[in-house]
Amino acid sequence: MLQTINNIVILTGAGVSAESGVATFRGPDGLWEGHRVEDVATPEAFVRDPALVQKFYDERRAKLKTVEPNAAHQALARLDRTWAGELLLVTQNVDDLHDRAGSQRLLHMHGELNSAWCRACDAHFAFEGEMASGPVCPHCHVPGCLRPDIVWFGEMPYQMERIEAALARCDLFVSIGTSGAVYPAAGFVQTARYHGARTLEMNLDPSEGSFHFHESRMGKAGELVPDWVDQVLSHGLC
Ligand code: APR
């Protein structure tokens, strides 16, 4: 069934950046770049071995300089520039590829590699370079108190109130390149449906919550997303 849409919420995950050469979180071996997530993506891991965790994110941050936005990021930025209705792009990704493609109505719910969080003064600010060497906070001038501004397991994602409000208003919810394994993002489809939205998933293979979606398109984001954006912009329909 086709319906007119005005308000769109889009959720992206690691799959949208895969064709840019950024590793997804759950590789075939279940590891993230050779590490168990418990060893690099929890507050407990940071307390246990801060050097390992800082080195891991320093490497991910440095890798960003070697990758470029792909056709999916670019198509979503084109939709953002063109779409006259409400639109919110929520990404679970900590890379900056949506930003560099030009998406403006963008929210990083799991934080950003290019951001630091000072545990001494609580400032969050843009950051490039290495944290492992214990740089001084530019706000409070305390050394060695910066941590990656990444939402780890057991921590609250950013801007949940804004996301929930957008989900309650949207008439189309689209999920792209996410395994649907991590809440609360994995539950957005149910929230959107509860409020009457049409729901569409685009992923390489069915996500864990695939059955919640009205429609699933399987394939590469770099191919599916530009086609879908063309479809929305030419027909204004889901
Ligand atoms: N196009 C579309 N989808 C793809 C592509 C591609 N080219 N390549 C891989 N995928 C799909 C995979 O099939 C998989 O379902 O992307 C999904 C990636 O899943 P995950 O690696 O689990 O990543 P994501 O869902 O973003 O993880 C969610 O988990 O570790 C935490 O906080 C971290 O934000 C992350 C969250």
**Per-residue pLDDT for the chain (238 aa), expressed as one digit of tens each?**
456 789 999 999 999 999 999 988 877 666 677 888 889 999 999 999 999 999 999 999 999 999 999 999 999 999 999 999 999 999 999 999 999 999 999 999 999 999 999 999 999 999 999 999 999 999 999 999 999 999 999 999 999 999 999 999 999 999 999 999 999 999 999 999 999 999 999 999 998 899 999 999 999 999 999 999 999 998 765 5
From 92, 126, 150, give the residue that closes a domain: 150
What is the CA(215)–ligand 1 centre distance, in A? Answer: 18
Q: Are residues 7 and 86 in the same domain?
A: yes
Looking at residue 198, which CATH number applies to its domain? 3.40.50.1220
The per-residue pLDDT for 200 is 98
Task: Give yes or no for residue 182 CB within 6 A of ligand 1.
Answer: yes
Q: Are residues 234 and 133 in the same domain?
A: no
H/E stretch holding 172 reads strand 172-176
Q: Are residues 138 and 119 in the same domain?
A: yes
**Cα-based angle 164, 60, 121 (whole degrees, multiple of 5):** 65
The per-residue pLDDT for 1 is 46
Looking at residue 146, which CATH number applies to its domain? 3.30.1600.10
Q: How far apart (Å, rounded) are the C-alpha atoms in residues 217 and 117?
A: 38
Q: Are residues 202 and 181 in the same domain?
A: yes
Task: Give yes or no for residue 23 CB within 6 A of ligand 1.
Answer: no
Return the ligand 1 atom nearest residue 185 CA.
28
C-alpha Rg value of the chain to the nearest Å:
18
140 is in an annotated binding site: yes
Mutate to test the pocket of ligand 1, among 57, 182, 208, 227 (most ligand atoms within 8 A of CB): 182
From 126, 150, 174, give the residue that closes a domain: 150
Q: What are phi and psi of 164, to 5 degrees?
A: -60, -40
Following CA atoms 37, 40, 46, 51 in sequence, which dihedral angle do they give, to the nearest 10 degrees?
160
Q: Are residues 62 and 75 in the same domain?
A: no
Q: Are residues 55 and 85 in the same domain?
A: no
Q: Are residues 135 and 227 in the same domain?
A: no
Closest C-alpha to ligand 1, atom 16? 15
Number of domains in the chain: 2
Contact 213, 199 (CB under 8 A): yes
The per-residue pLDDT for 25 is 82
Q: Are residues 138 and 198 in the same domain?
A: no
122 is in an annotated binding site: no
- Domain extent for 199: 1-21+69-110+157-238
